[in-house]
Structure 1
């Protein structure tokens, strides 16, 4: 199939979304499909730039900046983005290209107009991949009420839902949100689980053996450190375990809370905690080979379900998980059912401490624990399976 994939994140960005979309595009090429990735490019001077990466066409289209700026400028930039991308697309060598299907990835919620135009011009189906339900999660977190800003974003999101023929959500728990959308004939709703490709083998710049955490059992968190993660309780946990000289905590990444968390650890004089800046995604497997337990954190105020990309990387590399997540999250059920770690849904430090001590005992006594993690990844989260599922949906 000839397929267009619209997104706003892709390498050289290092976000989990960029890694996911890189892996997805590579697998489309491996399975013999002609994939074109359409991306906004605020920093390039030319209207368009076409390149080939790993057998995939990548068309970068000049558009307003939408990242690392204030909320108002970001919203205006995202509102203009799809129209700007469409204008530049019409100037590019792919102006008259016809595709057999179009896929777009949310976040962002603003790709609807571009996806709709490609659907109409190519007379093809559209598949919307939803990784978080915005603006609902922002309301859950207390970042937004249900006033005018919410109604604006909700209208944008619902427009992009209306463009899609198929919507793929992360977990079964998110299916109910789209009950009304599904009532219109011809629409299809399904669970499209997160995915990852096989890891690269690149030496990590972080060497735990060269730090004061050498020789300890390492809890590792690698990824975004922001409001949605609710990570303060992890420092509480480190403080509760500070009397154990055999346990350490390693936090790697960036985000709106990263500097504050690092300062908090210093103020508490935590001698079992280390922070490092974001590393290249290809270094992650070697980082995890130096660690023992992966941490997943989601703020307890979330109402939706989420299986973060970092959970997949832990499973892929045989790391059991200690998760602190919102009550009822599908991830907690998955961790328990598959016996790949411990999940806390109470956001209570005493409960989390007991589960941390339990998993520390497990990694010393359950020799099959790493294999259970890897088996879960290959069975449920292989990118090969993801591409086949999307192609089937677009073909029928």
Structure 2
């Protein structure tokens, strides 16, 4: 198929979304599809820039800046972004290209106009990959009320949904947000698992052996440190375990809370905690090879089911997880049923402390845990499965039964992953997930 993939993040950015889309685009090519990625680029001096990366055509289109600026400017920039992309697409060598299918990635919620234009010009179907249900999570977190700004963002999100023929959500728990949408004619809602390509263990600019944490059992957090993560409790945990000289905590990444958290750790005198800046995604396997447990944190005010992309990277590297997440999140049952770590939803640092100590003990007592982590990753989170599922949805018009995701629909990722044709006869314990932008 000739497929257009629209997004607002892609390498050289180092976000989890950029890495995901890089892996997905490579897999489209590996499976024999012709893929073109369309991206906004504020830094361009010309209307467009076309390059070829790993067999993928990458068309960058000049658009307003939307990253690392204030909320008001970002909102205006994102609103104008799809229209600027369309204008500059029409100036590019691909102005008259036609596609067999259009896929696009949320976040952001603002890509509806360009996705609609490409669909209409080509007479093809569209697949919306949703990793972040905005503005719902922001309202749940108290970052915005449910007044005029919320209603504006909600209208934009609904328009984007209306453009899609198929929507792939992270988890069955998010299906309720689309009860009205899925009743529309020809619409299909399904669970699209998160994905991550296999990555070799290479070098890493962080050498734990050269730090004060050398020789300790390391709990590692690598990724965004923002309000949505609710990471304060992890510093409380580190303080609770400061007397354990065999345990350390390593935080790697960036985000709105990174500096505050590092300053807080210093103010508490936590000599068992180390903060380091963001590293290249290719260094992550080398980092995890030096660590023992992966940390996951989500603010308890979340009501949507957000499964961070870092969870996949931990599983891929065979790291069991210690998670502190919102009650009811599908991730909790997955961790417990698959035996890949410990998870707390009661927001008690004492509970988290007990689980951390259990994990430290189990590192030696349960040598099969790393293999369970890797097996879970291989079974559920490959880009091969994701590409087959998206392609199948774009090729086959039709609709699922009205209402929420059905059991068969929820199994779709595994069915598509068999040989691209035959459905699996095995029902896994759980088949749901992904990363949000959190």
Match in the other structure for 1:243? 243
Give, in whole Å, the separation in 2 of the partners of 1:146 and 1:378. Answer: 40
Report the alpha carbon displacement of residue 293 of structure 1 after superposing the two structures with TM. Answer: 0.1
Match in the other structure for 2:340? 340
Question: How far does the alpha carbon of each residue in 1:66-100 deviate from its partner, in whole angstroms, 9 at most, with x for none?
Answer: 00000000000000000000000000000000000
Give, in whole Å, the separation in 2 of the partners of 1:315 and 1:382. Answer: 12
Report the alpha carbon displacement of residue 172 of structure 1 after superposing the two structures with TM. Answer: 1.0
Give, in whole Å, the separation in 2 of the partners of 1:108 and 1:180. Answer: 21
Report the alpha carbon displacement of residue 177 of structure 1 after superposing the two structures with TM. Answer: 1.0
Report the alpha carbon displacement of residue 210 of structure 1 after superposing the two structures with TM. Answer: 0.5
Query: TM-score by structure 1 length?
Result: 0.99
- Count of aligned positions: 396
Match in the other structure for 2:421? none
- Uncovered stretches (5+) of structure 1, i.e. residues with no partner: none
Give, in whole Å, the separation in 1 of the partners of 2:94 and 2:246. Answer: 58
Give, in whole Å, the separation in 2 of the partners of 1:88 and 1:202. Answer: 39
Give, in whole Å, the separation in 1 of the partners of 2:307 and 2:102. Answer: 24
2:191 aligned with 1:188, yes or no?
Answer: no
Report the alpha carbon displacement of residue 192 of structure 1 after superposing the two structures with TM. Answer: 0.4
Give, in whole Å, the separation in 1 of the partners of 2:95 and 2:196. Answer: 31
Query: TM-score by structure 2 length?
Result: 0.90
Report the alpha carbon displacement of residue 347 of structure 1 after superposing the two structures with TM. Answer: 1.0
Report the alpha carbon displacement of residue 202 of structure 1 after superposing the two structures with TM. Answer: 2.9
Report the alpha carbon displacement of residue 362 of structure 1 after superposing the two structures with TM. Answer: 1.1
Question: How far does the alpha carbon of each residue in 1:24-67 deviate from its partner, in whole angstroms, 9 at most, with x for none?
Answer: 00000100000000000000101000000001000000000000
Report the alpha carbon displacement of residue 271 of structure 1 after superposing the two structures with TM. Answer: 0.5
For residues 87-236 of structure 1, the aligned pairs below 5 Å read: 87-236=87-236
Q: Does the 8 Å contact 1:221/1:252 carry over to 2? A: yes
Report the alpha carbon displacement of residue 162 of structure 1 after superposing the two structures with TM. Answer: 0.2
Match in the other structure for 1:294? 294
Give, in whole Å, the separation in 2 of the partners of 1:81 and 1:186. Answer: 28
Q: Does the 8 Å contact 1:200/1:283 carry over to 2? A: no
Match in the other structure for 2:400? none
Report the alpha carbon displacement of residue 201 of structure 1 after superposing the two structures with TM. Answer: 3.8
Higher RCO structure (Cα 8 Å, ≥6 apart): 2
Secondary structure of the residue that 1:391 maps to in structure 2?
helix
Give, in whole Å, the separation in 2 of the partners of 1:242 and 1:321. Answer: 20
Secondary structure of the residue that 1:24 maps to in structure 2?
helix
- Deviating 4+ runs (over 4 angstroms): none
Secondary structure of the residue that 1:300 maps to in structure 2?
coil
Report the alpha carbon displacement of residue 200 of structure 1 after superposing the two structures with TM. Answer: 3.7
Give, in whole Å, the separation in 1 of the partners of 2:11 and 2:347. Answer: 34
Match in the other structure for 1:387? 387
Match in the other structure for 2:427? none
Q: Does the 8 Å contact 1:115/1:126 carry over to 2? A: yes
Report the alpha carbon displacement of residue 393 of structure 1 after superposing the two structures with TM. Answer: 0.5
Measured on the aligned residues, the alpha-carbon RMSD in Å equals 0.5
Give, in whole Å, the separation in 2 of the partners of 1:142 and 1:315. Answer: 31
- Uncovered stretches (5+) of structure 2, i.e. residues with no partner: 397-438
Q: Does the 8 Å contact 1:40/1:60 carry over to 2? A: yes
Match in the other structure for 1:366? 366
Secondary structure of the residue that 2:180 maps to in structure 1?
helix
Match in the other structure for 1:19? 19
